[in-house]
Structure 1
Amino acid sequence: MTSDLPARAAPALIAMDAAIAATGLNVETRERQKLERIIARLLQPGAEHIDADTFRTALCTLRRKPWGSRLMDMTRRAGQVWVTRADAESAASTLDDPEPDDARLLAALRPVLRARLRDQGDSARAAVDNVRTDLFDGTGRILAAAELRTLALAAADAFDLPDADAFAREVEDADTRTRNRREEIEQTARARRKEEVQRLREWETQLVPFAEVPGLLRCSHREALRWIAEKRLPVARRVPQRDGQERWEFDPAELIALRPQVQAWRHDHTERGTPTPLAPDLGDRRVGNAVIAQVAALDRYAAHFTTARALKRRITLVTGPTNSGKSHTALDALARAESGLALAPLRLLAHEFRESLTARGVPTSLATGEERIDVPGSRHLAATVEMCPLNNPVDVAIIDEAQMLTDPDRGAAWTAAIMGAPARHLFILGAPDCIPMVRRIAELCGDPVDEVHLERKSPLVAADMPVRIQDLQPHDALIAFSRREVLDLRALLLAHGRRVAVVYGALSPEVRRAEAQRFNRGEADILIATDAIGMGLNLTIRRVVFAALRKFDGTQTRDLNAQEVKQIGGRAGRFGKHEKGIVSVLEGVGSPSFIHAMLAAPPAQLDDLRPQVQPDADIVQAVAAEIGSDSLFGVLVRIRRAVLRRDDPNYRLANMEQAFAIATALEGVEGLTLAQRWVYAMCPVDDRDNGIQRLVGWAADHAAGHAVPPPGTGRLPPAERAERSELERAEKRHKRLVAWRWLALRFPDAYPDRENAEIATTRLNDWIEEVLRQQSTRTRAELPQMPPRRRHHDRTDRSPRADERPRGRPRRRK
């Protein structure tokens, strides 16, 4: 087309001038060049004339974008900030009048908005709520009262309500009540937090240094030091100093209360030596940090799990790289046991554990954060790690992916499961990196450990040369480290006719499994994934190709470490499908020598072998009783300050920032018990999606005795026309439904509509999978081609593609 365009330029110009004269339509000078090009494409060969209708169509094509901009300007000035550019452009595309006035433009917009709002929900109110949610999620904007009214009136029009003004007033009144409630909650929260902080400060200001202890107890300096070492005298606060030392401070009220025991302590020391110290009975008074630490007893964490400690447990630690058969051996032992427990890091893997046991003829129930499947008569349970039951002894238990002990968000759950699993024989599975910490935990529990190390069933090799993107082959997995990078690579490969499946963390387990199955069946040539493939999915990957060698870990962007390269790269070369696994790097990303070095590196040496621990509901209640407060914020402040010294030789306090943030926000919600607040603080929400603010609103409804409705799916356009922003919106809505269902299992009366929540979840999953499937099956004829790929004659490329039933392995809580 480019070569013959100059030959048509003169006829197009003649045709344009003639059409302008014939129709009398005004064409701006700045429009003439683009209009001439449009007409050149419309002219038949040899023609120098177009009819009036064709000319009008050409002029409308030229002006659609400016009309869209005019509509956006008009809607913004009218307070309709919820109107999108897609709405405006869709309205502009329906116009056939080249010179419409503002009224005509707005008339074209009305049916577009009616259709959009009707797609947003089953009622005008649902449409208003979903549009507001989308706007807030996309831009962080909260509609002002006048803007909300324009939305309500448009929704009333879309649903043909008889009294639009009445509906708008109803929406405005509800919004006013919501705003007032939110402000009241925030004010109450600030007041209560201030009160708790003030109470803590008042207590801290009356503490005294060690120099005053002998005088208060009427004892010698040496006796005071001895009684501190024997833990008879509680150190109320330990303040780190710049020189690395600590300044000890004491509560004088605690010391004075202990005076009557001084003579007995002296007698004990003289007559019977140093006895085992007991927690002193300090009476009814303000409680110091040392006493709180004794109550919480996180420095004696293993003792919390009384059922496990009462059993004579035996631990078998099974370690090995990916594809070494760790879970197969343990599942066989679990299936032979009369009762058992299989704990997995993900809901998807808990399902796979259950399926594997069921296939072996073992009836198995399921427990995850958001669902339960109770099989009558079953004595086996598959569950996520956080759902580990602690009070019912079983013969055999499995805990998978023990290297998660070092995870900053969920590591404490593995500590609790390993210490607390009430099994006579406990199988712990993981990468070799976990060995030192599992040994340490077993030592703290007093459990003997047998160690079994497995080797890969098929070799894993690093490629010597990087891979060009046009040389990707069937059974390749391309690895990136963000959703955006995955979708960018997907768009690139789709544009060149490649069949693609994707896996990333924002997708639900159901969609991830469906995408994995498409890849395994050969319906997709290439899998593009994040490190979400590192656990749980059975994939027939021949070669893993890293599209990035650096990742953002939540704190900083850093190089991949050896364990990450091994865990992800180890997915290549599935035993029985490919003779070997190959790990490579995409051309231009980095050097293959990095992959060589990481695969050859020994297990990482951990800087800190102390397992992470965090309080549970019982500890929270006990500390609250000691300090005489029902404030979860106050309890967590004291726990953070008091329950575990930073230099404790055995344990370290886990990261509890999100729980603390939720507790802080919940302070202003009246009517919830401390136990209920703690449940909310454990809820898996994403604060990047305004999850804490949404959670507080749900909690306020719960406290007020109102049923909390499940989040809706909102507008789901036809899958074949879905934009990336709409896919992301659906993923966020799925996350909200996960949080809602998690709470519904714990508060069924306040979250009663589980059936509709399940329907909405299924609808979202099906739609997301349809989007991914539709867009990855375009034909080559529709798309530009990549450069020809070099032919490779590796025999493994011709291995049969067989369906696999997923074999058993069952950021926040699952």
Structure 2
Amino acid sequence: MPQLVRLVSRRMPADRDVVADALCQVRRKAWTGRLMDLANRFGESWVRRADADAAAGHMTDPDADDEALRDSLRQVVGSRMRGAGATPEAALEAMAAELLDATGHALPADRHATLAQQVAQAHGLDQGATAAFVSAAIRAEDRRRGELRAAEQASRARKREEVARLRAWEKSLVGIEGIPALLGCTPREALRWAGAGLLPVARKQRERGGRERWEFDPAEILPLKRESAEWRRAEVESADRKESRREAPSIRVGNAAVARVAALDRYAAHFATARALKRRITLVTGPTNSGKSHTALDRLATAETGFALAPLRLLAHEFRDALASRGVLASLATGEERIHVPGSRHLAATVEMCPLHNPVDVAIIDEAQLLHDRDRGAAWTAAIMGVPARDVFVLGAPECIPMVERIATLCGDDVEKISLERKGPLRAATNPVGLGDLRPGDALIAFSRRDVLDMRAELVRRGRRVAVIYGALSPEVRRAEAARFRNGEADIVVATDAIGMGLNLPIRRVIFTTLKKFDGEGRRDLNAQEIKQIGGRAGRYGKFEEGVVAVLAGAGSPDFVRHMLNAPPAPPVELRPQVQPDADIIQAVAAEIGSDSLFGVLARIKRAVLRLDDPNYRLADMTQAQAIASAIDGVGIPLMDRWTYAMCPVDERDNGITRLARWAVDHAAGRPIVPPSAGRLPAPEQASGEELQRGEKVHKRLVAWRWLALRFPQAYPDLDRAEAETARLDRWIEDVLRQQRRGRTALAS
């Protein structure tokens, strides 16, 4: 009643219609809840809360019953179904895919039939056409479910076979005590030959007390019986001859037959084109705003041919623009995008797209400190070792120096080190900064999407103009938000640590809203490198004389920030570069072990190819690739196509592997895979936080779809449609973020 009185009092004098309208507004929240309850009761999981809220907002009768509410909801959902696709078939596919993406599970058969019926009715089909459409939809879905079940069963069976094969191999291994029986030698000879590296060690196991047990594969030891007589003769020859014979085979480690073809313990030699060149590495290190990229780009622009390799698609675009500003045309290659410029002899690309077989004069590899990144570090190893350029400029923070030097040694390359100083001073603020003390040019740093949007909502409520940048946004939206801040349309930028890589912004102060972050395993304090990388964005040379790094009031101590800014580079915990197999290695190992199972190949690589104590390299984390392999091994597509799927950038938290398996089944069946669609989008000023997040997720799914479309154009044929949907989502997300309403903003809901 108090709310009703307030609403009516604002519209005095009021008649019966005004009171009825106000009463509908008061009851809207309860009606929304009632509609969601009814939708759940009828199993209509495709009804969104936004649909229920819109249906409740259309009600004009304060005494509306459930049937009237359901009629309004049917109209709203029907409108969304018509917007989901131009045809009933396309709309049903989009709606079913959206539900699969949201839950990770397909609708039960009866619910799928109900959804098909409602889609048909929404598209205006008559009773007979609706019945035919529903029957066809049921048959198609039954066929697809049968294919998915068959693929899942085949995948599980192949996984069991490969696990059994691996266990049988491990069970067949013998210790050093078993070598005499295999080679007809004495135990003393077996020990000497193993110590000299003449006997390939299949596995090393730690026993209690710290002792190491060496195990050998009889299948690899028995063929050496003929050589053992030669080893005995060699032992009575000169010491020099004996030493050379010991050194020659010493690189044979791990599961010798598989390790020999994978050669991960000799990874540098895998890049034949680069090894054929006399390369010189120039390692340019320095803090943010020290001009590393500018120095290297000037050199690249004077070369006849070259590459510029960046960690992000956004930065690859910036490299391309930087070359264009120097009068140099460059093509572009990223995971989901190709721009070929006729006549260009330069390429801007993401690190994973580094060309390995086309020699050039100069190459730039940026952000080399990501060599230590557990998810993408192997890509930097491959790029630095494999880029076929005579002059290689490696750019990064000082923390990358030991690892780059180690890689250069493994490659036999000369290294020249250049250390740059920051162009303007950077200091820690003495006191915390309150929200009321923010000024134009400030950047607030949070470490989650939710915290960024919550902070944005609070600042908008206070009347501030705000831009936002976080990892879930596409490069196009991030660039648009950066432009808003750069041109003064927004006074303050709120960002995650995504701001710490690229995006040159005119920032006066970087202000941390917290000094802790979740790193995938637990919540921890920020380290010195993170504070330097992010805080270094403060102080734009030529605009601000100095940069200031501060902490928000109540978020931590300014002394901690000051200590981290002044801390020397931390010594790396691990100096061995990460390596991972590529398509050639996968194919070679599969042939060696006689298996067509991607899971089996990856399991053997993980267990036997590169031993844990290898002195030069360590195997990158292949957990997601193995999970994808396990899901799609039963799909009827070739091994190397399955490896391509395993490399696709998907988000496991968004049911990405389930979606990928479904796409692979359609691929194998010869059905074209339809690009993800966001359907009808609400007006930007009415978008809720839930709808914004849904749009971001669809955008991420489109990235994966486009990535696959560039590799399998026949299975993913509608690239133009996918690019158009991507551009539409970019515009909509940017329009949503532009909304600067006070009070309860769309994003805060």
Q: How does 1:446-525 map to 2 (within 5 A)?
A: 446-525=412-491
CA deviation string 1:117-169 (max 9, x = no partner): 22333232333333334444445564222322332222112110122222222
Residue 169 to residue 455, structure 1, CA distance change in 2 (3 Å)? same
| TM-fit CA distance, 1:39 | 5.3
Residue among 202, 209, 217 paired with 1:251: 217
| TM-fit CA distance, 1:629 | 0.8
| TM-fit CA distance, 1:288 | 8.8
Residues 1:156 and 2:125 are matched in the alignment: no
Q: Secondary structure at the match of 2:62?
A: coil
- Aligned residue number for residue 675 of structure 2: 710
Residue among 175, 198, 202 paired with 2:168: 202
- Aligned residue number for residue 656 of structure 2: 691
Residue 597 to residue 211, structure 1, CA distance change in 2 (3 Å)? same
Distance 2:500 2:109 in 1: 48
Residue 255 to residue 781, structure 1, CA distance change in 2 (3 Å)? closer
| TM-fit CA distance, 1:570 | 0.2
CA deviation string 1:331-376 (max 9, x = no partner): 1111111211111111111111111112212221211111122222
Q: Secondary structure at the match of 1:243?
A: helix
Greater mean deviation of Cα atoms: 232-241 or 651-660? 232-241
Distance 1:81 1:746 in 2: 34
- The answer (yes or no) to whether the contact 2:370–2:376 under 8 Å persists in 1 is yes
**Partner letter of residue 156 of structure 1?**
A
- Aligned residue number for residue 51 of structure 2: 87
- The answer (yes or no) to whether the contact 2:176–2:191 under 8 Å persists in 1 is no
Residue among 667, 673, 686 paired with 2:638: 673
Distance 1:207 1:381 in 2: 49
Distance 1:247 1:782 in 2: 66
- Aligned residue number for residue 110 of structure 1: 74
Distance 1:277 1:625 in 2: 29
Distance 2:26 2:719 in 1: 51
CA deviation string 1:560-603 (max 9, x = no partner): 00000000000000101111000000000001001100100000
User: For the aligned residues, what is the CA RMSD?
Assistant: 2.2
Distance 2:704 2:163 in 1: 30
Residue 143 to residue 441, structure 1, CA distance change in 2 (3 Å)? same
- The answer (yes or no) to whether the contact 1:395–1:425 under 8 Å persists in 2 is yes
Q: Secondary structure at the match of 2:635?
A: coil
Residue among 351, 367, 378 paired with 2:317: 351
Residue 142 to residue 703, structure 1, CA distance change in 2 (3 Å)? closer
Larger-gyration structure (1/2): 1
- The answer (yes or no) to whether the contact 1:251–1:288 under 8 Å persists in 2 is no
Distance 1:727 1:464 in 2: 38
Q: Secondary structure at the match of 1:467?
A: coil
Q: How does 1:230-629 map to 2 (within 5 A)?
A: 230-271=196-237, 272-274=241-243, 275=245, 289-629=255-595
Distance 2:375 2:710 in 1: 22
Distance 1:94 1:334 in 2: 61
- The answer (yes or no) to whether the contact 2:445–2:513 under 8 Å persists in 1 is yes
Distance 2:400 2:706 in 1: 33
- Aligned residue number for residue 797 of structure 1: none
Q: Secondary structure at the match of 1:649?
A: coil
- Aligned residue number for residue 764 of structure 1: 729
**Partner letter of residue 95 of structure 1?**
M
- Aligned residue number for residue 742 of structure 1: 707
Distance 1:129 1:498 in 2: 42
Q: Secondary structure at the match of 1:746?
A: coil
Distance 1:443 1:104 in 2: 76
Greater mean deviation of Cα atoms: 406-415 or 308-317? 308-317
Residue 153 to residue 444, structure 1, CA distance change in 2 (3 Å)? same
- Aligned residue number for residue 36 of structure 2: 72
| TM-fit CA distance, 1:40 | 5.5
CA deviation string 1:721-763 (max 9, x = no partner): 1111111111111111111111111122222211111111111
- Aligned residue number for residue 130 of structure 1: 94
Q: Secondary structure at the match of 1:516?
A: helix
Residue 457 to residue 716, structure 1, CA distance change in 2 (3 Å)? same
| TM-fit CA distance, 1:279 | 7.2
Distance 1:74 1:705 in 2: 40
| TM-fit CA distance, 1:631 | 0.9
Distance 2:665 2:249 in 1: 39
- The answer (yes or no) to whether the contact 1:79–1:146 under 8 Å persists in 2 is no
- The answer (yes or no) to whether the contact 1:546–1:585 under 8 Å persists in 2 is yes
Distance 1:457 1:655 in 2: 38
Residue 342 to residue 131, structure 1, CA distance change in 2 (3 Å)? same
Q: Which residues of structure 1 form unaligned runs of 5+?
A: 1-31, 45-49, 784-814
- Aligned residue number for residue 752 of structure 1: 717
- Aligned residue number for residue 788 of structure 1: none
CA deviation string 1:459-500 (max 9, x = no partner): 001000000011111000000000000000011111111111
CA deviation string 1:439-469 (max 9, x = no partner): 1111111111111100000000100000001
- The answer (yes or no) to whether the contact 2:174–2:215 under 8 Å persists in 1 is yes
- The answer (yes or no) to whether the contact 1:279–1:294 under 8 Å persists in 2 is no
Residue 404 to residue 67, structure 1, CA distance change in 2 (3 Å)? closer
Q: Percent identity?
A: 63
**Partner letter of residue 317 of structure 1?**
L
Distance 1:92 1:360 in 2: 58
- The answer (yes or no) to whether the contact 1:113–1:154 under 8 Å persists in 2 is no
**Partner letter of residue 127 of structure 1?**
A
Residue 514 to residue 85, structure 1, CA distance change in 2 (3 Å)? closer
Q: How does 1:4-15 map to 2 (within 5 A)?
A: none
Residues 1:661 and 2:627 are matched in the alignment: yes
| TM-fit CA distance, 1:203 | 2.1
Distance 1:318 1:37 in 2: 66
- The answer (yes or no) to whether the contact 1:705–1:750 under 8 Å persists in 2 is yes
Distance 2:379 2:41 in 1: 53
Greater mean deviation of Cα atoms: 548-557 or 524-533? 548-557
- The answer (yes or no) to whether the contact 1:289–1:638 under 8 Å persists in 2 is no
Q: Which residues of structure 2 form unaligned runs of 5+?
A: none
Residue 289 to residue 51, structure 1, CA distance change in 2 (3 Å)? same
**Partner letter of residue 366 of structure 1?**
L
Could you state the TM-score of these two structures normalised by the residue count of structure 2?
A: 0.94
Residue among 200, 212, 221 paired with 2:178: 212
- The answer (yes or no) to whether the contact 1:79–1:150 under 8 Å persists in 2 is no
Distance 1:452 1:52 in 2: 80
Distance 1:96 1:216 in 2: 90
- The answer (yes or no) to whether the contact 1:308–1:390 under 8 Å persists in 2 is yes
Distance 2:293 2:32 in 1: 58
Distance 1:395 1:36 in 2: 77
Residue 739 to residue 361, structure 1, CA distance change in 2 (3 Å)? same
